[in-house]
Amino acid sequence: MSHGLGLVDVRSRRADFGLSGGWCLFVLVTLVVVSPLRAQNTLDLPAVRAPRGLHWMGQIVGVGTATAPIPGAGDEVRVTASQTVLMGHLVLGRLRVNMTLNGEGLTMPNGEPTIGSWGEGFVDRRHPHTYLHEVMASWVQPLGGTAAASLSAGKGFVAFGSDDPMVRPLQRYPVNHHLAQILERFTAIAGVRTSVGTVEASLFNGDEPETPAQWPRIARFGDSWAVRATAAPFRHTSVQASHARVRSPEHRPGAGTDQRKWSVSARHQVNGRGRTGRYLLAEWARTSEAGGFFNFSSLLAEGALTRGAVLLSYRVERTDRPEEERLPDDAFRSARPHLENAILGTTRFVLQTVHLEHQVRRGPWRISPFVEVTLGSLRRQGATGVFDPAVFYGGTSIRTLSAGARLAVGPAMWRMGRYGVVAPSMASPADDSLHEEHNP
């Protein structure tokens, strides 16, 4: 059964609101939200010369989740310790090093309950990330004024798509995580920054990890590439467009199908120091696989408002997910490595999530209790795939309730996966925080 090509309706070739809908949402949200703001024709990026020193932060999130339905038409309640990270950013003049250690392989080896999530062999579970999540060294060379060039290399995020969900306001990862980001690869990134924008080009290995302890295959380095351009047409607002060609991401030896990926997003953020903070992200992402036979698209918009210590966030998402055969003894896992390349169908998820959080600071420590609710639906996309989600889950409505707390030390988590000319300066570690300073 090569690629399962006979099992999916050929109509999946069509964009089905993908390109046109993505552009419409992108343009509409950008005009409505940021048109009153003063255009400044410059990126909202840190200074080229960052202060020397080591900046670090750590966090762990304890969360209890009740979700329905799950595979087998049942309900589930589970307590998980997730997003267990220790991040460091070392600045030695023009040399900068980013490192993130991730303990999820120990704290959530069976994944985090998230209906709709997929990737790295997990299905309906957010997978644990690798222990050495990123270690990237960058050399930044000023070119005069705000212009600069950089070269970054190591293991980390490819310069593609939007920010990693871990640094965004909601606890729940979106379904489109593996459509909108490419992570945990050996990668080399060349970047150029001017007063009006940046351009980044990446070379990397196509294979993604299969276990938290696994390293990328160095022999495959350079078989995939990506480019990303970023500009700032309005104050506090940036837009990016990315394209990538990824060689056999789901089959580590390299015999799987290739992917072509596109991403367009607009991001607006005003931090909450002394005023109401606001954040908005609108994105369109699309992945084409097996020479265009399979197409998976996503539209997502999310926003957050803060006042003092209170944060209210909302996300709406419509994303297509590929379906693979699951293990006989574990409905939340698919085989890795693949014995054959088979996509059994496509499921479309339409989800809305509301998140309410209250942050309390005591010295360098922050604790943020939160509650989060997700409601939505799933359905088979296309007419003929052998995977029928209504039968598999025993229903088409999704309900998830999560409650927990985030414990963090150090500054607010900065934007992960940004290296060289687009890395945070750490001049003011709280600059990426939506919260006002709040000391009870």
* pLDDT for 413: 81
Q: What is the pLDDT of residues 384-405, one digit of tens each?
A: 668 888 888 988 999 999 999 9
What fold is seen in the domain 5-46+57-432? Porin (2.40.160)
For residue 358, give the nearest of 436, 267, 280 by alpha carbon.
436
| Whole-number Å distance between alpha carbons of 31 and 43 | 18
* pLDDT for 10: 33
Of these ranges, 12-16, 232-236, 353-357, 430-434, the one predicted with the greatest mean pLDDT is: 353-357
* CB within 8 Å of 197: residues ≥ 6 apart: 43, 229, 230, 231, 232
pLDDT category at 343 given cuts 50, 70, 90 is: confident
| % of the chain exceeding 70 in pLDDT | 82
* pLDDT for 241: 97
- Tell me the mean pLDDT in the region 165-181: 96
| Whole-number Å distance between alpha carbons of 344 and 114 | 21
* pLDDT for 145: 83
Residue 437 has pLDDT above 50, yes or no: no
| Whole-number Å distance between alpha carbons of 13 and 50 | 47
| Whole-number Å distance between alpha carbons of 27 and 35 | 11
Query: Tell me, what amino acid is at 80?
Result: T
- Tell me the mean pLDDT in the region 71-87: 91
* pLDDT for 146: 82
Of these ranges, 51-55, 91-95, 124-128, the one predicted with the greatest mean pLDDT is: 124-128
For residue 404, give the nearest of 372, 373, 431, 436 by alpha carbon.
372
> Dihedral of CA 319/324/330/335: which sign?
negative
Average pLDDT over the chain, rounded to an integer: 85
* pLDDT for 75: 87
CB 75 within 8 Å of CB 65: no
- Tell me the mean pLDDT in the region 160-177: 96
- Tell me the mean pLDDT in the region 39-49: 40
Residue 104 has pLDDT above 60, yes or no: yes
Distances in Å between the Cα of 407 and the Cα atoms of 58, 117, 272, 335, 366 are 8, 24, 20, 34, 6
- Tell me the mean pLDDT in the region 353-361: 96
pLDDT category at 122 given cuts 50, 70, 90 is: very high
Q: Cα 120 to the chain's mean position, in Å?
A: 14
- When mean pLDDT is compared across 5-19, 152-166, 352-366, the lowest value belongs to 5-19
* pLDDT for 342: 73
pLDDT category at 340 given cuts 50, 70, 90 is: low
The conformational region for residue 169 under phi > 0 = left, psi -120 to 50 = alpha, else beta, is alpha
Residue 17 has pLDDT above 60, yes or no: no
3-state secondary structure the chain: CCECHHHCCHHHHCCCCHHHHHHHHHHHHHHHHHCCCCCCCCCCCCCCCCCCEEEEEEEEEEEEEEEEEECCCEEEEEEEEEEEEEEEEEEECCEEEEEEEECHHHHCCCCEEEEEEEECCEEEEECCCCCEEEEEEEEEEEEECCEEEEEEEEEECCCCCCCCHHHCCCCCCCCCHHHHCCCCEEEEEEEEECCCEEEEEEEECCCCCCCCCCCCCHHHCCCEEEEEEEEEEECCEEEEEEEEEECCCCCCCCCCCCEEEEEEEEEEEECCCCCCEEEEEEEEEEEEECCCCEEEEEEEEEEEEEECCEEEEEEEEEEEEEECCEECCEEEEECCCCCCCECCEEEEEEEEEEEEEECEEECCEEEEEEEEEEEEEEEECCCCCCCCHHHHHCCCEEEEEEEEEEEEECCCCCCCCCCHHHCCCCCCHHHHCCCCCCCC
For residue 349, give the nearest of 69, 122, 121 by alpha carbon.
69
* pLDDT for 425: 59
CB 107 within 8 Å of CB 428: no
* pLDDT for 136: 97
